[in-house]
Amino acid sequence: MTAMGQHIALAQAYDGVIRVVADLDDADLQRPTRCRGWLVADLLFHLLCDAQRALVALATPVAGPPDADDVSYWRSFPPGGDGARHAWWARRSAAAFDRPSGVVRIWSDTAPAAVRAAGAADPDGCVSTQGHVLRVPDFLATLTTEAVIHHLDLVLDLPDAPLPGALACRVAVTTVDGLLSDDTVRPSGWDDAGYLLKAAGREPLTDRDRAELGKAARWFPLLG
């Protein structure tokens, strides 16, 4: 996908999250998510940290060459890694707000700013993030993938909430496809949302899934 396409996908991903949380009251912001131990406000704070990280990275480009792309980047964060400390920190940080809606206000200001910074960035440039150097389009794809999966996490107990947009989902699905081997066939009964939830370990593989995936089943979850 072109740099412009990645920018549009990120805009769609972040706007999708805004549409989920914009009208939630404080009670709804304390509903559970698919992320263990995190309420909606906690997970939104985690996404806010991503948007802030994007602003910093895009404002401070670095020289190349890149050492990761939008797929290999995820292999640096194996599922089941030590995320408990960050999870606890994010939960306590979100709880420090007077009301859960305080997180929504900052997210609704910061996410569009990150999208604008993405649009202004040199598409041939590189940025540094999480210990890696990535091309700008690949960096935007990592942000989109994380936002889409967490969008699906957010709506666990919000049945009327909108789902992620098609272009943003396509970026996330392409990332997950890249983490599988070239000869692995995605099970026929999986839609995009189901595929992403199983790839992220949010939903377990069924016996039928394992039969269709064959040896590739042992690689799941593909990202955490």
Q: What is the pLDDT of residues 188-220, one digit of tens each?
A: 889 999 999 999 999 999 999 999 999 899 999
What confidence category does residue 24 fall into, taking pLDDT thresholds of 50, 70 and 90? very high
Q: What is the pLDDT of residues 133-177, one digit of tens each?
A: 999 999 999 999 999 999 999 999 999 999 999 999 999 999 999
pLDDT for 79: 60
Q: Which of 198, 187, 195 is nearest to 221 (CA)?
A: 198
Could you give the domains of the chain? 3-167 (1.20.120.450)
pLDDT for 78: 62
CA atoms within 13 A on the CB side of 190: 22
Say whether 35 sits in a helix, a strand or coil: coil
Q: What is the pLDDT of residues 107-131, one digit of tens each?
A: 999 999 999 999 999 999 999 999 9
In the chain, which ranges are continuous DSSP H helix? 3-21, 40-59, 84-95, 101-120, 136-154, 166-179, 192-199, 207-213
Q: Using CA atoms, how far apart are residues 82 and 5, in angstroms rounded to an integer?
A: 33
- Calculate the average pLDDT of the chain: 93
pLDDT for 174: 95
Q: What is the pLDDT of residues 38-94, one digit of tens each?
A: 999 999 999 999 999 999 999 999 998 999 999 999 988 766 555 678 888 888 999
Write out the two tokens for 63.
């020289």
Position 181 pLDDT exceeds 80: no
Q: Using CA atoms, how far apart are residues 176 and 153, in angstroms rounded to an integer?
A: 16
pTM equals 0.95
Whether residue 42 contacts residue 107, with contact meaning beta carbons closer than 8 Å, is answered with no
| Average pLDDT value for residue range 2-22 | 96
Sorted by sequence, the CB contacts under 8 Å of residue 69 that are 6+ apart come out as 134, 135, 138
Write out the two tokens for 84.
């408990």
